[in-house]
Each structure stands twice: as structure tokens, then as C-alpha cells.
Amino acid sequence: MDEDSRSEDNRLIDAYLDGGNESAIEELIVKYRKEVYLTAYRVAGDMEEAKDITQKALISAVSELRNFKRKSAFKTWLYRITVNAALNHTRGNAYKTVELCETIQSGERGADVCLIEKERARRLKGLLAGLPPRQRLSVILRVYRGLSLAETAAVMECSEGAVKSHYHLAINKLKTAMPADMQGKDL
Amino acid sequence: MKSGHDEIKDMLHGYLHGTLTKDASALVKDHLSCCDECADEFYIAGELLKIEAPDPGVSYYNNLTKAVLDTASVSVANRFNLWKYLFRPVPIAAAVSLCLIIFILSFGIFHSGHIQYAMQNNITMDAAASDEAMYSLLEEEEYGDGLAADDSGDDLTAML
């Protein structure tokens, strides 16, 4: 994680906590709101739910900012809050599957290819949703958010070894579950 | 530069997100052509990245910031704070506290004056007390001897 970004975050936090500077916290929210939404979306799998989770997570982060001990980066702390909010929100709710109800109405070339791609993405999304929560989280944080092993471990509150294990189990499950027609590698 | 299987595996996400140097990227690319395990992982991660997340729109983000700030400031303001509670500006409590402080201080001043007065008087009191003690000792000696003789039966033995 960028050290400059981390010190900049701490400066904004200090400005808000010590000086009551509301524009500092606004800047911090603007900086991270999209990442929070994308993480929430990857966990929840639904846009409306992701919007609710994003709002809850950000409110919780701003309210609890005084309790942020700075042992980790603000970004890691915020991801942890987001992931917990998303898991609490989706607990008991089945991950919503996206129904593909589009039909090929266009006569343009490539429309069928586009539909195949969408179908592939939909199936892969379903497979990801079917993974146990910690395996799913390791994939979301590593692949979608590009976090390092250490950062992923900090967000998931476990060891780096455990993250490695969850991640590789997840990748193996996805690989095994992916139908043969989807496994067309083109590096 | 790292070149082992595990090291390359750690670099896969950097390669996927395009954050590696040119040399490191070339190393990963070479490794992917000869390692099926890493190639599978890279392929699946790449496929996962193709799944797009819907954009909620600029208006959502703008409203979100305002909603978060409004709600968070209300929740912070409503949170119970012991220090704030104890030191909140309450006119009656402040007046009562002030009266109590004045009372304690005045009592302390009065009491210290009284102690000084008592210390001066104690000298005469001690003298009077020592006289009294002397008299009681003398009385005890006079009557005590008589009682002791009676009790021990010395008088009886002398008579006998």
C-alpha cells in the first residue's frame, strides 16, 4: 500500500478529529467511496444491496473514527468494516443470481459472442457466490481489490498462510467447477 | 530478481493489474508458458475480472457523501459521553457546586481557627488535668491501703 497515501489519510483523519474539519472527512469519503461500493458489490452480488452496505460501512467508519488505532492503514480498516457490514447484511440472504433474459434480437455480427461472454460471466459469478465466505473474500480482496497477502490477511483478521490456503482452495474449486467449454485459456 | 514458482505466484496479481516492472512482467510471462498451475490461476483471475460491477451513477455518490456526513454527525452527537455528561453546562448544578465549595472552604477556615484556639487552651487544661490526677492518686493510696489490709485478712491474723 502506498505510504504517501497512508500518511495523507492520517493527516485528513487528524484534521477531522482534532480540528473538526468536515471537508477533510468529506475528502476521505470521496477518495474511498467507490472502492467501498465495489467491494460491497462483489460480496453482496446486487447493486441495491451494495448501495445500502456502502452507506452503512461509511457511516460506521466515520462514527468510529476515534477508535481507529492506526495499527493498520485506514484503507485496510475501512475494507474490514465494509466486509463485515456486507457479510452481516447478506447473512441469511441467498446471494442473488443474475437472470439472463436477453435474447439475440440484433442481426449484427458479434451479438452471439457478446451473449456467450455474458453467460460465461454469469456462471462464473454464480460459482464465486457458491464458495464459502472466507474463500470468497480471499478471491474478492486479492483479485478484485488487488490487495497483497499481508493486506488481505489484515482485512480478514487471519494469518497470511490462512489467506493463501483459502485463496488456492477457492481457485481450485472454481477451476474444477468451470465447465470445459469455459476453460479456453488465451494468455 | 525472484524467479521461483512461489515467488512468481505472488507476482501474478501484479501482472494481472499491470503494476509490475517490464523485467518482472517478462519473467511472469515466461513462467506462465511453462507452469500449468500458475496459468490456470492467472486465467481464472482474469475471467473473474471480466465480471463487471454496475455503476450506481454520479448522483448516488454525491448523495452518499452528504447522507454519510449527516447520519454520522448525528450518531456521534447522540452517543453517550461520560466526560461530556459530567461537565455539561448545567446552571443549577454549577450554582450548587459553587455553594458547596464556598461552604467547605468556610468550614475549613473556621475549623482551623478553632483548632488554634483549642491548642492555646489545652496547656491550661492539661495543668488542671494533672492536678486532678495527683489528687486521685493520693486518695487511692490512703483508702487503697485500708482496703488491701481488709481484703488480705492481715488485720484478722493480727487480732488472732
Domain annotation covers residue B108:
yes
A169 touches chain B (CB under 8 A): no
Closest residue in chain B to residue A117, using alpha carbons only: B50
For chain B, report the end-to-end CA distance as a whole number of angstroms. Answer: 127
Domains of chain A, first to last: 3-90 (1.10.1740.10), 111-182 (1.10.10.10)
A67 touches chain B (CB under 8 A): no
ipTM tops the 0.85 cut: no
**Residue B113 pLDDT level (bands cut at 50, 70, 90):** confident
A59 touches chain B (CB under 8 A): yes
Point out the residue among B40, B42, B48 whose CB comes nearest to the CB of A128. B48
**Residues B93 and B148 both lie in one domain:** yes
**Residue A103 pLDDT level (bands cut at 50, 70, 90):** very low
Q: What's the rounded Cα separation, in Å, for the pair B137 and A49? A: 99
Which pLDDT does position A71 carry in this prediction? Answer: 86
**Residues B89 and B150 both lie in one domain:** yes
Contacts of A142 in chain B (CB under 8 A): 13, 45
Q: Above 60 in pLDDT, residue B141?
A: no
Domain annotation covers residue B122:
yes
Point out the residue among B51, B69, B76 whose CB comes nearest to the CB of A121. B51
Q: How far is CA A40 from the centre of its chain?
A: 5
Tally of domains in chain B: 2
Which pLDDT does position A137 carry in this prediction? Answer: 94
**Residues B98 and B147 both lie in one domain:** yes
Report CB contact under 8 Å: B56, A51. Answer: yes
Which pLDDT does position A139 carry in this prediction? Answer: 94
CB atoms within 10 A of CB A50: 25
Residue A100 φ then ψ, to 5°:
-100, 105
Q: What's the rounded Cα separation, in Å, for the pair A159 and B9? A: 18
Question: Which one has a higher pLDDT value, B21 or A4?
Answer: B21
- Note the pLDDT tens digit of each residue in A130-140: 999 999 999 99
Domain annotation covers residue B56:
no
**Residues B41 and B100 both lie in one domain:** no
**Residues B148 and B103 both lie in one domain:** yes
Point out the residue among A54, A120, A171 whose CB comes nearest to the CB of B41. A171
Tell me the residues of B at the A interface, defined by beta carbons under 8 Å apart.
10, 13, 16-17, 19, 29, 32-33, 39-45, 47-54, 56, 60-61, 64-65, 67-69, 71-72, 75-76, 79
Q: What's the rounded Cα separation, in Å, for the pair A29 and B66? A: 10
Q: Above 70 in pLDDT, residue B69?
A: yes
Closest of A33, A23, A27 to residue A9, by C-alpha: A27
Report CB contact under 8 Å: B64, A174. Answer: no
List the domain range (segments joined by +) for residue B122.
85-155
Closest of A52, A26, A22 to residue A37, by C-alpha: A52
**Residues B101 and B40 both lie in one domain:** no
**Residues B94 and B39 both lie in one domain:** no
Closest residue in chain A to residue B31, using alpha carbons only: A187
